[in-house]
Structures are given as structure tokens and as C-alpha cells.
Chains A and B, each alone.
Chain A
Amino acid sequence: MKVPHELSVAEIGAALRSGRLTSVALTQSLLQRIAELDPKYNAFITLTAERALADAARADNELKAGRDRGPLQGVPYGLKDILDTQGILTTCGSRLYRDYVPKEDAAVEERLRAGGAVLLGKLATSEFACGGPSADVPYPPARNPWNADHYTGGSSSGSAAAVASGMMRVAIGSDTGGSIRVPASYCGIVGLKPTYGLVSKRGLYPLSYSLDHCGPLTGSVEDMALMMNVIAGHDSRDPASADRPTSDFHAGIGRGIKGLRIGYARQFHFDTAGILPDVIARLDEAAQRLSGLDAVVEEIVLPDFELFRACSRCLITGEAFAVHERNLKERGQEYGRLTYQRLIAGVALSAADLVQTFRMRRELVLQLDALLHGYDAIILSTGMGQAPVLDLTSTAPPPMVGSPTVIASVTGHPAMSVPMGFAASGLPLGMQIIGRPFGEATMFQIGAAFETSLAASQGSSSGQRKSASG
């Protein structure tokens, strides 16, 4: 029998509705687990235990009274501490915001509250989603539950550590160049950057206006679909929000993938310097597995990756400089040094550079769109390899390499990281599934079929991650 922290969102929902479990009991159990594990993994910046127990009691009472708010009612979650929460400290991982208490909730938080979910707290982030990891900010970096000497990846570091260690089943992060997908890959969980505009980013502290996305990190693809059913949809107060109806993201789960066409960008991994050979071995196995599930898998050639990387660098750094310009001048000493150094480099870009970058971006969107005309999805690696060792001694920012995640960041296509196995070191690796715009339901269909098949071959139950921390 599963212990509470191993339950999926669907299993929690069934247990709450059958009376086998209460949200209060689940929340208490997770708070106990957080007390035991968080000193080791630093997933939390602010724990909201009192609020969580009140939310949980409300969910229990409503369910008892027959008021059903949907799949997340009574389900505990956490938010990256870069999303506004009314009356709750929101630090952005920075000394500059150490006392900031927002007056309004971010849009995703509004939707999660309306859905009856239970907020456990605010989760660690790299400073302003772009700094560190470093020791000169007030909040220690999160550590990887698979091996605490390794980093979780950034910037949704606390969200990934919390889900991977079983402190919660679902969390929200933000992704600009890979900040959901890379930590998900390094921590052996599922992470989604939705189609640009599908999930409102109102109340998210911006890093790059045109590249920022809000999205979930979850224990399984089915959890992801249930989360998206609650948080996706138009928000008239977010100018980037897509004004179109959303579908049932759960509809394709369990349907199988017979006949779906999947492009495997295999050659890309040989052409790109620095990709760990284990990554290619696991991807080859994944492609065979998908083929064995009766999908049509064909090798494809991606557009020039270096253009995506360069485009992403210019967009992020140019827009981030505009966001931070005033604080860099007036409060420069309050930033962590790596963050400050990364941000001030933005002075090197001219107005013409940015216009050319936006022209390039349009070309790259059209190229990826053309490729996806022939395929339901594309698969490739999420990261360059496994989670790196956490190094807090560096005094200069590492080079801006750019993971394979930047492809869908630049184009706005949806992209999800799902666990695909392990490196020889025992650390997890992630496969990225890139879909057509607003094609998340098909990506979940593929991801869930893959996940179930992989779990069966590894001898664990379908859709359940192996517990990273026991």
C-alpha cells in the first residue's frame, strides 16, 4: 500500500472522495516530511503550514458537503517564489525583495485557489530566475534529492526538489530558457513549458517578457494533464494570454499512440558539442520504445541549433536588462554577484541587435512550424547531460551554453520533459517532447504512454516516479 507522499493527483482525488483519506491528514503527513527533508534539500523559502491546514480543512468540508471543485481540490502544491501571493512573502530569491509582500495573487495562484488546492509554501528560485547558484544571496540553493551534492538545475530549483523528494506531488515553476524542463530532467520528474500564452503569467516577476512561461512540475504526466486542466486558459489581464478555448488535457491519457508520427532529432545530439553519450543511448532506447508502442518514429534534422542559442541569449539578456536597468544602477550591490554580472552584460546589445533578433525569431518559428507539419511531436534531449555538482565557489558566471530547451523557448511551442532513464552515475535524464502550438493533449498522450511502458520495464507501478529520497 502506498504512503501518502507516493499518491498521484488522481489517486489523492479518489481517496479524498471515497473518504479513505482527508486533505488535512495528507497535508499533515507532507508537513512532517518537509520538516524531515527540507533542511537537506532547501526546497522552501517560506512554508505556509497554517494556511495549508486551513485550506485542507476547507477542502475536506466542501467535499463532505458535496461541493466538488475538480481534480486539485485538497491536493497540496507549492509555488516558485517568483509568483505573487497575496499577503505572503515573495522574495524572487533576492535580497532586493526580501520584504516584498504582494497585494494580489498571481493568475495561476488564483486558479489553484479557486480549484481548492492547498498551498504548502513558496519554493526556492535562482535569484530573479537568472542568477546563481551562489552563496551570496539570502536563500541557500536547492539540492538534488537524487544526490544532494548535485544541483537541481535552475531556476525552478525548489519546485523540482520538492516534487522529486515527495514533499508534494505538484508545483508551479517558470521557464524562460528551460527553467522548468532542465530541473525536471535533473530531478527525474515531469516538467512542462506550455505553449506561449496558454497559461497566464500575470503576477510572475519577469525575466524576459517575450520568453517567460508559467508551468507545472509534477510526479507524472497524468498529474501534469490534471494540473493543466485547472491552470490553463485565457486571462484578459495578461496581454500575452491566448484568447482561445482550452481542451481537456486529460483526454488522451491511456489512449495509446498507435499511428502518431514522432520526429526523432537524433543527429542533433552528435552535432552538438558537450552532450553526454548516456543521453544518446537513453534517447535511442526511448525512440525504440515509442516505435514498439506503434508510433511512427522517423529521424529528422532540426534547424541550426546555434541560431536558437544565439537568439535566446540576445532576447533574454536584452529584455532582462530592460527589466532590471534601474535597480542595477541604484541597488547594484544588493544583487548576488553572478546575477549582477549576467545582467549588466546586457549593455552590449544595441537596438538594432534586438530588432535583428526578433526578425531571426520569426524565421525560426516558421522553420519549426514547417517541421511539425509532418509530425505530431518531436523528441530530443532536455539537457546536455546529468545534474552537475553544486559548485558555490565560482566567482564568475559560467558560459551561457544554452540547453536543447531553448529551441521551444524561442519559438513558443509547447515542450515537456519526461524522465527517460538514468546516466551511468545513477542520476536521472530527461527526454523532451516538443508539440505543435496548443498541442499539449497530444504531448501528454505520448508522454503518458512512454512513461507507463518505461515504468513497466523498470518494475515500478505506472506513472509513479521512483522516490528520490526514500
Chain B
Amino acid sequence: MDAKQQDLEFDDLLARAGLTPTRSDHDGALPIAMELMRSAEMMRRPRQVGDPPAYIHALSAILKATPK
């Protein structure tokens, strides 16, 4: 994705979230958003479909603690 495209995509995401930052705030946030997208990409890797996220354990702890 080139810089122009990244810029437009970020604009679109902000608009969908109901945010209307100034140009300077937009430009300050864009590199962080790009870094986040790269980080999110690293979170996707081949796994067994059954490998659950960490919060599943928290949920099971809540259910265990629920009075029967």
C-alpha cells in the first residue's frame, strides 16, 4: 500500500468511528496506526483452529465462580 492509499484508508477508518481529527492530529496518528497494522499482522500465524484466545480462561473462571 502506498502512502496516499494508507492515508485514505486511515481517513476512512476515522470517519467510520465518528472521529474528525485536524490534519496535524491525523498526520501524528498515522505512523502509529501503520505500526499497529504491522503489529496486528504479526499476531496472525498458523495455529490450530482450537487454540483459544487468553480471555477464554477468564470467562471460564467467571463461570466457575458463579453460584449454582
A residues in contact (CB < 8 Å) with B: 210, 239, 243, 306-307, 309-311, 313-314, 317, 325, 328-329, 332, 337-338, 340-342, 344-350, 353, 355-363, 365, 395-397, 399-400
Contact A399:B35 (CB < 8 A) given known A359-B51, A359-B52:
yes
- Interface on chain A toward B: helix, strand, loop, or mixed SS? helix
**Contact between B54 and A358 (Cβ–Cβ < 8 Å)?**
yes
**Contact between A344 and B21 (Cβ–Cβ < 8 Å)?**
yes
Residues on B with C-beta less than 8 A from A317 are 32, 36
**Contact between B55 and A358 (Cβ–Cβ < 8 Å)?**
yes
In chain A, what residue has the closest Cβ to B30?
A345
Residues on A with C-beta less than 8 A from B38 are 310
**Contact between B32 and A345 (Cβ–Cβ < 8 Å)?**
yes
Contact A329:B28 (CB < 8 A) given known A347-B13, A362-B51, A362-B52:
no
Give the number of A-B contacts (CB < 8 Å).
Answer: 117
**B1-37 vs A, Cβ < 8 Å mask (1 yes, 0 no):** 0000000001001101111010011011111111111
Bound: A276/B45 CA distance, A? 32
Contact A399:B55 (CB < 8 A) given known A310-B39, A345-B36, A357-B40:
no
Contact A314:B43 (CB < 8 A) given known A345-B29, A347-B14, A348-B10:
yes
Bound: A397/B36 CA distance, A? 14
B residues in contact (CB < 8 Å) with A: 10, 13-14, 16-19, 21, 24-25, 27-40, 42-45, 47, 51-55, 57, 62, 65
**Contact between A365 and B42 (Cβ–Cβ < 8 Å)?**
no
Q: List 29 A-B contacts (CB under 8 A).
A: A210-B54, A210-B55, A314-B40, A332-B21, A340-B29, A341-B21, A341-B25, A341-B29, A342-B32, A344-B21, A344-B25, A347-B13, A348-B13, A348-B40, A353-B40, A357-B53, A358-B54, A358-B55, A359-B53, A360-B43, A360-B45, A361-B54, A362-B52, A362-B54, A362-B57, A395-B28, A396-B31, A397-B29, A399-B31
Bound: A346/B33 CA distance, A? 7
- Interface on chain B toward A: helix, strand, loop, or mixed SS? helix
Beyond contacts A309-B39, A358-B53, A396-B27: 17 other A-B pairs, Cβ-Cβ < 8 A, are A306-B42, A313-B39, A314-B40, A332-B19, A337-B24, A337-B28, A342-B29, A345-B29, A345-B36, A347-B13, A348-B10, A348-B34, A348-B37, A350-B40, A357-B40, A359-B54, A362-B52
Residues on A with C-beta less than 8 A from B55 are 210, 358
**Most chain A C-beta atoms within 10 Å of own C-beta, residue among B18, B35, B52:** B35
Bound: A63/B30 CA distance, A? 58
Residues on B with C-beta less than 8 A from A337 are 24-25, 28
Contact A361:B28 (CB < 8 A) given known A345-B33, A348-B36:
no
Residues on A with C-beta less than 8 A from B54 are 210, 358-359, 361-362, 365
Bound: A306/B54 CA distance, A? 19
**Contact between A311 and B36 (Cβ–Cβ < 8 Å)?**
no
Residues on B with C-beta less than 8 A from A325 are 17
Residues on B with C-beta less than 8 A from A307 are 42
**Most chain A C-beta atoms within 10 Å of own C-beta, residue among B19, B24, B54, B62:** B54
Bound: A311/B40 CA distance, A? 8
Distance from B49 Cβ to chain A, minimum over Cβ atoms (Å)? 11
